[in-house]
Structure 1
Amino acid sequence: MGNRGSEGLVQPKAHRPEAWSPGSVRGAGPLARHSRLATASVDEFCGQASKLLTAHRIRRADAVDASPFRGQVRAVQIADLQLIYLEQGVNVQVDIRDPIDYYDLMLAVSGTNELVSDRGESTQITRLHGALLSPRRRAQMRMDATYRQLHVRIERHALERRLEDLIGPVSSSPVIFDLPVDLESPRLATWMSSLRLLLSDLDQDNGMTAHPLAAASWQDLLITGLLLAQPSNFTAALHDCDPPKAHRRLLREALDYCEQRVAEPVTVGEIARHVGASVRSLQRAFQDDLGISPTNYLQSLRLARVRQDLLTADSSSPDSVTEVALRWGFVHLSRFAAAYRRRYGEAPSDTRSRARERN
């Protein structure tokens, strides 16, 4: 079992960092520098939480409890992720009124939350177990007075784009994760270590996460880790995927397609659709193996075909340089001539003249 920090989230066995960043007030919980609201009003708290997540109804679970409501809302945006911290200080009943259109990972900083989804699934959110609500789901929750919660909101389009990067095009059906999240499993313990590091950086004055490029990297790390660590309807596809083998297949099929369509006005998007990959995955495969983009590869193929025709032409050949270039898919003749000269060190007309003299 992993160790636990002072604020409750699971630590991996090998290392026990501070629960939150040194700059935050001990016991204040995560995102101490990112406060949005501190209120004694249930309605005000509910309104702010609903803006950050989805429409909620919040009411006291114990009608005779006279304890003051102590609402805290903190939030920060990281690319297409949001981290949202909430606490209320009293026992509450929460109803998610509308099906959500994002992924909501719920973690307990302290206390307990009893959750029941609209599909009849139930789970308890504690320091050792979270819950992951997928799109088109609703839930009811009963939170005790000590419950302090951290939500990791992931936009559906961001998660699906990352999944496509990993395994290629997917169906229009959403990724549906298992609701219970076992934070003691090895992969999720590692994932939690990454989240803790992010939270620590966010509570620094000039943390790296403030840079947009770093934010995008954090997003990819957390989404990829969640896809690999938390069971879903795409788990088998993710774990059966052999990246090197898939990479080679993708490139081989793309090269074959380019050879077959070299004279046609083929776009990178068409090549990607043919091989069943995203444009970004296709571009990465070309760059990794060939050191050039698909567009530049196609241009090289066409230039080679033009040069072959020019070199084999004899004095009786009726085709002009322009006709040969058009035959192999070049439309902008000035760009063609410049590209040909860069590639072969001479003008295409010079190649043709030399070939006719020789042949």
Structure 2
Amino acid sequence: MDSAGALDAVSCQLPAARPLEAHALTRSTSPTVVRDSVNSLTSDEHLLVPHQGRGIDGTVNGLVAGAISLVFVSYGTGVTIVSPPSGRRALLVIPRGPMLVESCGNQWVANTPFALSSHHQTKMVPDPLRGALVGGVDADVLENYLAATSNRVLVKPISLASDVPLQLSNPNMVSQTWLEACRQLDQGIAGESVTWLENILLATMSAGLAPFLEPAFAPLPGNKGAPAYVESACNYLEQNLGANIRIDDVASAVGISTRQLHNAFQAHIGQSPAHVLRDMRLARARRMLEGQAGPVAATVAEAAFDAGFSHLGRFAAYYSEKYKESPSATLQRLRGVPKQQASKPPQWVGQVSH
């Protein structure tokens, strides 16, 4: 990050109105306080390293809108941010001024939105005064949104890993939409509008990330040589998750041999048909558990059997391996959060600490 010193001096004028000013969280000269305030919303446990001999003047504004966290941060001086791999969080960064970024062997000056890598750490030197807006959402939420709106079959978890910078497509649309959402939140919106706003943010996030989300979908016919029967097989799996189907049944339904189906899945999806089927069933069970959270939540057994699992113990083991929590832990976690409160900001939003 040899260009960090040059970026320290980029902004000499006071920045324009900062996003989410009506939702101030922290104003502090303590790097620890500022970092922890940002981490409370991004959940990425990043490091904040002030440049040598510099004291910071940090500002953090932020809130939670539905399932999406939004946080604006500026540091008042030169700092380097080191974010670990984002894992099962999708984190977007919208620079408000030039930002030096380094990740996975790539280094660039970002003036448009980009995503943090799910597999590699990302180093950033933001504009000292203009700072950046960061948006975050759990990958499960984004996957559920894509499954409901894309008319395509998700065959494996989304992964924001790339050998090239994770720069978003349609960058102006993403920036303008997310900044306008911040303005709307600052002006105050009715509680029922939060879901509408959340869907808009998820839609623009999905559009911006589209090139990097493509590997999670079943291949389209003709895409990279994938035969049409691969998508047909994925659709067959999706439509029969609750049934006691065999891979032989899938191959027969699309008119090919079981061996041919297995080879095609490995070549074009990177997983066996059985693995794809299991991941689809797990995703369906999780949606059922999450979608019916509260007093009428489905039981673990109901979710498992509805998704096509006949052995509860194996279901629990597969579920825990994929989602890093047991099915019962998912229910317990969500039962404690009534739906009507899910779109409300935490009680501490709007408080200012020094």
Q: TM-score, normalised by structure 2?
A: 0.53
| CA-to-aligned-CA distance 1:294-339 (integer Å, 9 cap, x gap) | xxxxxxxxxxxxxxxxxxxxxxxxxxxxxxxxxxxxxxxxxxxxxx
Comparing 167-176 with 233-242, greater Cα deviation is found at 233-242
Match for 2:156 among 171, 192, 196?
171
Report if aligned partners of 2:154, 2:217 keep a CA contact under 8 Å in 1. Answer: no
Comparing 141-150 with 268-277, greater Cα deviation is found at 268-277
Q: CA RMSD in A?
A: 4.1
Number of the residue aligned with 2:64 = 77
2:234 matches 1:234: no
2:243 matches 1:270: yes
Residue 27 of structure 1: how far off its partner (Å): 2.3
Letter in 2 for 1:107: I
CA distance in 2, matches of 1:269, 1:35: 47
Letter in 2 for 1:56: H
The 5 Å alignment of 1:1-359 reads 27-53=16-42, 54-63=44-53, 65=54, 68-97=55-84, 100-110=87-97, 112-117=98-103, 119-126=104-111, 129-165=112-148, 166=150, 167-172=152-157, 174-176=159-161, 180=165, 187-205=170-188, 207-208=189-190, 211-228=193-210, 230-234=211-215, 269-270=242-243
Residue 162 of structure 1: how far off its partner (Å): 2.7
CA distance in 2, matches of 1:149, 1:271: 50
Cα 1:31–1:86 shift into 2, 3 Å: same
Residue 164 of structure 1: how far off its partner (Å): 3.2
CA distance in 2, matches of 1:61, 1:130: 24
| CA-to-aligned-CA distance 1:113-134 (integer Å, 9 cap, x gap) | 21212x22222222xx232113
| CA-to-aligned-CA distance 1:127-160 (integer Å, 9 cap, x gap) | xx23211323312222342341011112111122
Letter in 1 for 2:36: G
**SS of the residue aligned with 1:218?**
helix
CA distance in 1, matches of 2:244, 2:67: 28
Cα 1:232–1:124 shift into 2, 3 Å: farther
Residue 181 of structure 1: how far off its partner (Å): 5.6
**SS of the residue aligned with 1:234?**
helix
Runs of 4+ off more than 4 Å: 97-100, 230-233, 235-242, 271-280
Cα 1:121–1:58 shift into 2, 3 Å: same
| CA-to-aligned-CA distance 1:84-104 (integer Å, 9 cap, x gap) | 100010011222256543121
Cα 1:82–1:271 shift into 2, 3 Å: farther
Q: Which has the larger radius of gyration?
A: 1
CA distance in 2, matches of 1:220, 1:272: 33
**SS of the residue aligned with 1:83?**
strand
User: Percent of aligned positions with the same letter in both sequences?
Assistant: 16
Which structure 2 segments of 5+ residues have no match? 1-14, 251-276, 286-354
Which structure 1 segments of 5+ residues have no match? 1-25, 258-267, 281-359
Cα 1:220–1:44 shift into 2, 3 Å: closer
Number of the residue aligned with 2:334 = none
